[in-house]
Structure 1
Amino acid sequence: MKKIILILLMALGVSVVSVAQDEGGDKPNGGRIEALKIAYITKKLNLSTEEAQRFWPIYNQYMDEIKKTRIDARQNQEGELPTEEKLLNIRKKYNGEFNKALSSEKVNTFFKAEKEFSTGLQKELMERRMQRMENRKPFRNN
């Protein structure tokens, strides 16, 4: 288990640092969120040492393409559908790449875990936003 954690930390160290630098400017918790996502995926996939060595470099390339596409879409003010289509094409491309490193079952688990994390994150952010709004309401005395 210690070997797996060490390998993951080494494989992800560069990615997490670059993500923190990339997203740190306009998203203060970007690096922290990425680290939480990586931990969530790691737990869901339960990778062997060999699988981790093959998976994480591909994952880093995948995330680089996803981020670049989102940044380009934002800068070019692309519509939602063209952006989603580009993201889907990236997922399709990397589905094949991930299948070279993992079983198809684990690849499916990865994509599900990624979606679950995003959904959970959105829900958490919305709840926090609502709570902040509630706390801002002035107290009324009847």
Structure 2
Amino acid sequence: MKYIFTLLVFIGSFQLVSQAQQRDGERLEALKVAYLTKKLSLTSEEAQKFWPVYNEYMDELKKVRADSRGGDELKREEKLLEVRKKYQTSFSKALSPERANQFFKAEKEFYSYVQKELQERRQQRQD
């Protein structure tokens, strides 16, 4: 009986952690969408064309990351670059070639900002 109770507590806590991580991921994605919308100054017409392409792009990036987890890092980076090159054409059709390039820069800036923010928060916890 004690074993079953311990097992149920473990499963319950695992689900709570999993849900918290999922909410954090959703919150981060919402922040990214807001950041990109502001940074790219998307009109409603551009947004209608851009976001479906963006969603496909993100799905493909996630798939590459999941498929290459624990594998050769250089091959993983090559595959990610191939996806970016492939979608540059699609983003250029939804926006313009210059704005598509601006998207990739803004995406990189966002991830740099998030990484910096995480480092600062970790450092504050240690102090």
TM-score normalised by structure 1 residue count:
0.73
- Find the aligned partners of 1:124 and 1:43 in 2 and give their Cα distance: 19
Pair 25,80 (structure 1): closer, same or farther in 2 beyond 3 Å: farther
1:65 matched to which residue of 2?
Answer: 60
- Find the aligned partners of 1:26 and 1:71 in 2 and give their Cα distance: 17
Percent identity, please.
Answer: 60
Check the 8 A contact 1:70/1:83 in 2, yes or no. Answer: yes
Q: Which amino acid aligns with 1:100?
A: K
Decide which structure has greater helix share: 2
Q: 1:85 aligns with which of 78, 89, 105?
A: 78
Check the 8 A contact 1:55/1:98 in 2, yes or no. Answer: yes
Higher relative contact order (CA 8 A, sep 6+): 2
Gaps of 5+ in 2: 1-17
Pair 24,108 (structure 1): closer, same or farther in 2 beyond 3 Å: farther
Residue 112 of structure 2 corresponds to residue 119 of structure 1: yes
Question: For this pair of structures, how many residues does the alignment match?
Answer: 110
1:43 matched to which residue of 2?
Answer: 38
Pair 24,61 (structure 1): closer, same or farther in 2 beyond 3 Å: farther
Q: Highest Rg: 1 or 2?
A: 2
What RMSD in Å do the two structures reach over aligned CA positions? 1.6
TM-score normalised by structure 2 residue count:
0.81
Query: 1:32: how far off?
Result: 0.3
Q: 1:105 aligns with which of 92, 98, 103?
A: 98
Query: 1:78: how far off?
Result: 1.0
Task: Tell me which stretches of 4 or more aligned residues in structure 1 moved more than 4 Å.
Answer: 23-28
